[in-house]
Structure 1
Amino acid sequence: TATLSIPDARRVEQSRMVVRLSPSLAAAMIDALPYLAEYPYGCTEQTLNRFLPSVITQRVLQRMNVDLAKLKEKRNNLNAQEVGDAAERRARWKRFDHSAVFDDELVAEMVTAGVTRLSDMQNGDGGWGWFSGTHEQSGAHTTATVVRGLLIAVQNDVPIVPDVLQRGIAWLEQHQMQELLKLQNADGKVQPYKEHPDNIDALVFHVLILAERHNPAMQQILFDQREHLSTYGKALLAWATHKLGNTEQTNMLRRNLEQFLVEDVENETAFLRGQASWWYWYGSEIEANAIYLKLLAAIDPQGQTAPRVVKYLLNNRKHATYWNSTRDTALVVEAFADYIAASGEMQRTMRAEVFLSGKRLGRIEFTPANLFEVDNTIEIHGSAVPSAEQQLEIRRTGEGNLYWNAYTTNFTLEEEIAPAGLEVKIERRYYHLQPSTKSLQLPGKQANVVDTQQAGFTRTPLEDLQAVPSGELVEVELLVESKNDYEYLLIEDPKAAGLETIETQSGYFSSSGRSIYRELRDRHVG
């Protein structure tokens, strides 16, 4: 239940209330696939992630018996927290025209082309470099990424040339042995040596466990010296120890990770705060949380943290339907697929009924067959939206999670508009500025005390509807509270009647050590 406050003084005909429901937020992963398939460049990682996420997602949908041809005409929006018109969002989604996700033959063509290109890009030593080819050097991160992807592809019935995969695994095993020797030489400082394991060691160990190649010595060193690993590295190691059945190490690593878990009860999100700088591969907060979600899907899919991580990842897409890059987008899609399979979110049947102060507004039934086409929105307009405080109640019949979002739009006629917000909250304050001077005693050049006057302003808070004489200065202060680390925010502040800006030119200005762009318009400041 939730309490909604509808103003009495309003233009009733312009009121609108929308309730959107969904049995799975993770199903929104489908929206990222066209971006991956259409990506115009072809380094080693991008070649892999052009086809692998589509294969993973297609297998998930096929196991649910979803009609892929119908899915191409997807009409609903399963991300319940998104507002706005679903048809408009669908039109934006279709700016990528690639339809291979929904076509078995086209997916097969993508797979064949991708696997062939990766085979051709493999270096003579069995590893992969950035673009590979003549004079290219194999790298541990790129090779681990490709081998991991090919192993997952095999799990999803993709035919791979066995020699290509085995040579890649052998390259990683050799790399691991070389790094293990360096670690074992550390005590005596015998060259070559390094003093502690790093995140590449955790990644390679993780991939080799996926390939069923276990090195107990490296496992013990990584676990004993895990303080040298980033959040990302610890998550990789935790997943690997779980795969090995070492519950004690997995539980300890989970406790280590969840020291950095940030949970927001109000908007029901959770994420691991990163420890490393963003420009390192292991400093990617999105990838770290994707691996953490894979871990939760494996060990605690029914807990409350996993769906909150899903919601956090969806909220932090940088480009509407995808994240920062092909790499982190592909990893999130993979993690969502793991969570969907483990939690069974998309395989359950349920009925949701929406009531407003005891009056039923509508009912929606979700089944695996209608998941992507059912109208999951209940909407009322005008006089059907009652005034005053109303109790919104959602009743679920059946099993599984039910995600929902409700919002109202009103043209209020209130003298004082009540504050509201969730993800972003803004408080505006007005101050009457009156010139003033302050007496100061400052040290003089002769070590004496000098009396001086400092000019400034006295700030007097202005109450709602309080009048200010013409020609006086008024300061506008906006206090912004945000639940996410947004790269930018666009804020429009309407001018109060009779107020004009002192500055006349738009542009950048400095405030609190930050450079902020400001546009001065006739009716508002942006």
Structure 2
Amino acid sequence: MAFSAPQAFATAGVLDEGGERLELVSLPRSFEPLGGHLRLEMASSLAGVAFEGLEVLEGYEHESIEYTVSHFLPNLEILRVIQEFGLDEPELRDRLDARVRASMERLGQGQNYDGGWGWYTGVNSESNPVISAYVLMGLVHAEQAGYQVNDYIFENAVQYLLNYLVNNLPDAEHPWLYDQAALIHFVLSQADFPVLDLASDLLDQRDQLSPWGQALIGLVMAQNAPDARADALFSNLQTSAVRSATGARWELDQAGTWQTLSSEVFNQAVVVYALAQRDPASPLVTDGMRYLMAYRDASGGWQSSYATSWALLAIAEVMRGTAELGGEFAFSASLNENPFATGQAGGAEQFTEVVAETSLESLLPDLPNALTIQREAGTGRLYYRAILDVVQPVESVEALNRGLGITRAYYPAGLDCASQDCRAVDSAKVGDLVTVRLTLNIPNAVHYLRLEDYIPAGTEVLDLSLKTSQIGEAQQEVSYDPLDPLARGWGWWYFGTNQVYDDHIAWLAEYLPAGTYELTYTLVVLQPGTYQVIPAQARQMYFPEVQGISQGSLFEVVP
């Protein structure tokens, strides 16, 4: 069985009025693709874009508390906006009911004794004020949507954030606390527990806030104690926007962003979210949303589950404030002057994207391919995205180090590699056990890291936490052995419990200091054949530009 390494290249845009846009699509020249396709998605309203973003959130696998909230919060808001327009989406509503109830149960179980939540559930996950504020925001929105929220959980969360605000006032030595305080003030205000004296003090220190922090504290004061300072803050957001042909954006100082999970996309989304509530008719809201649309990634989301959630919340507010669901116009696309797709804005069709797809064989291999997006005059906007998916042979994939280095090696199980040099293998017999060793090199400390490794198709991960293994032999439950503390590798104690899937295994780490780490697990060899193995991958979840990929490889299983 052959595995491959897909690569995606994407572009996106918005057409506000009648006209056309030309996008040039070229096939890669650095390798010969095994296959792939060109996919065009066109949405006649933000609703179509939002539904695609919600589908992207379904694809995340990690079990963090942040994702628990991101999994239901934007769904709640998109559904509420649609219902406010007198429309309905039964499939989304039915799916949401079960999801919210399951999330409420998990959040209740994961709440710490102090009333807060950590990044993930576990005995070593200390309460995090940003995560806790985000959870409370989710609880507030769930309650507003008519779901039952446990009063004890809600009140303890409020008390945790109130205590944190009082005991962690921002200062020059901890600059991220200004933005963090803005988020907490905003959520407490949504929960009807505003702390207006401290919020007013923070407004006086607005020069220390990022654009998204200014936007949130501006909303707090404008909604609870409006004065000239809040007006001046929103005026500053108007004048500080950087405008270009792509739209309007707000620059983010990167210092200390991991403490607040903030990124460029998150910053953009929160500012648009706030401006859409303050003045939805402002052209700046349209320009800010256009920029946000242009930077969707190839999956249809934005960078991470957290950034995608906030982008969808911004979309919901723009839809609510601009009544964009009322568009009326025809649109189409052509590829190399041949018809490719057509659609009509308005009615039930606005919830569904128009999608067209063609294989690489139909594209010009050596010349740019002309993809023309067209729309007629009429009310509304056309959002489009083109994705070129190409498949690269796994064995030709080279290692990538963008702030993280990762290697993978296979060894016969049972060898004492601490006392002797062990030679890595690239083959094994059916019935053998193989130890996989992942080595992660980190030159600088990282936060919120996800590491995942894909296994050869003819093998399975031996889950030693079970009493019986996949091959039916009795196993001992894994525990720490003081006589052999490195049996599971080096630095494993920084990682949470691994998650085993059908084709890969994954770990999460909230914090890793600079250094070298080793993680090991065991494979059971089951089916003979020569298998291409997808590289191991490590990345910071909220800053995925910091990532590492191991080299692609082949693994042979002999009878």
The aligned residue for residue 270 of structure 1 is 248
CA distance in 1, matches of 2:216, 2:77: 20
Identity value in percent: 23
Question: 2:65 is matched with which residue?
Answer: 44
Mapping of 1:319-468 within 5 angstroms?
319-346=298-325, 348=326, 350-352=328-330, 366-373=345-352, 396=377, 400-403=379-382
CA distance in 2, matches of 1:132, 1:117: 9
Structure 2: runs of 5+ lacking an equivalent: 1-17, 23-39, 333-338, 357-372, 387-559
Distance 1:4 1:162 in 2: 53
The residue number in structure 2 matching 1:242 is: 222
Structure 1, residues 46-99: CA drift from partner, whole Å, max 9, x if none?
A: 111122222222333344455636xxxxxxxxxxxxxxxxxxxxxxxxxxxxxx
- Cα distance, 1:123–1:167 mapped onto 2, change above 3 Å: same
Residue by residue, what CA displacement relative to the aligned partner does 1:445-469 show, whole Å, maximum 9, x if unpaired?
Answer: xxxxxxxxxxxxxxxxxxxxxxxxx
Q: How many Å separate the matches in 2 of 1:67 and 1:201?
A: 37
Aligned to 2:152: 163
> d(CA) in 1 for partners of 2:175 and 2:43?
50
CA pair 162-257 structure 1, distance change in 2 beyond 3 A: same
Q: Whole-Å Cα distance in 1 between the matches of residues 110 and 92 of structure 2?
A: 27
- Is the CA contact (8 Å cut-off) linking 1:32 and 1:321 kept in structure 2? yes
State the Cα deviation string for residues 470-508 of structure 1 (Å, max 9, x = none): xxxxxxxxxxxxxxxxxxxxxxxxxxxxxxxxxxxxxxx
| Separation (CA, whole Å) in 2 of partners of 1:363 and 1:318 | 24
Distance 1:208 1:352, change over 3 A: same
Structure 2 CA distance, aligned partners of 1:179 and 1:127? Answer: 15
Q: What CA distance in whole angstroms lies between the structure 2 residues aligned with 1:289 and 1:41?
A: 24
1:116 aligns with 2:96: no
CA distance in 1, matches of 2:327, 2:295: 29
Is 2:55 the partner of 1:55?
Answer: no
Amino acid at match of 1:53: P
Secondary structure class of the residue paired with 2:242: strand
Please give the alpha-carbon distance, in whole angstroms, between the structure 2 residues aligned to 1:309 and 1:196: 24
- Aligned equivalents of 1:339, 1:195: Cα separation in 2: 31
- Asked whether 1:106 is paired with 2:101, we answer no
Give the structure 2 partner of residue 152 of structure 1. Answer: 141
Distance 2:185 2:299 in 1: 34
Aligned in 2, Cα 1:375/1:333: closer, same or farther, shift over 3 Å?
closer
| Structure 1 unpaired stretches of 5+ | 6-18, 70-101, 187-192, 355-360, 378-391, 408-526
Residue 520 of structure 2 aligns with which residue?
none
Between Structure 1 and Structure 2, which shows a larger proportion of strand residues?
2
> Could you tell me how far apart the structure 1 residues matched to 2:292 and 2:198 are?
31
Q: Residues of 2 paired with 1:341 and 1:235: CA distance?
A: 18
What's the secondary structure of 1:263's corresponding residue? strand
Preserved contact between residue 25 and residue 311 of structure 1 (Cα < 8 Å):
no
Given candidates 106, 119, 139, the residue that maps to 1:130 is 119
SS state at 2:348 partner = coil
* TM superposition shift of 1:243: 2.1
Counterpart of 1:166, as a letter, is E
State whether structure 2 residue 182 is matched by structure 1 residue 202.
yes
- Deviation at 1:352? 5.0
TM-score (normalised: structure 2) = 0.52
Report the alpha carbon displacement of residue 332 of structure 1 after superposing the two structures with TM: 0.8
Aligned-pair Cα RMSD in Å: 3.8
Counterpart contact for 2:133–2:187, Cα < 8 Å: yes
Alignment partner, residue 300 of structure 1: 279
**Aligned partners of 1:263 and 1:271 also within 8 Å:** yes
- Structure 2 counterparts to residues 177-256 of structure 1, below 5 A: 177-180=166-169, 198-256=178-236
Q: Residues 264, 143 of structure 1: CA spacing in aligned structure 2 closer, same or farther, 3 A cutoff?
A: same
Question: Could you tell me how far 1:319 is from its partner in structure 2?
Answer: 3.5
Structure 1 position 136, deviation (Å):
3.8
The equivalent residue for 2:553 is none
Give the corresponding residue for 1:473: none
| Correspondence 1:34 to 2:55 | yes
TM-score with structure 1 setting the length: 0.55
Cα shift at 1:404? 7.0
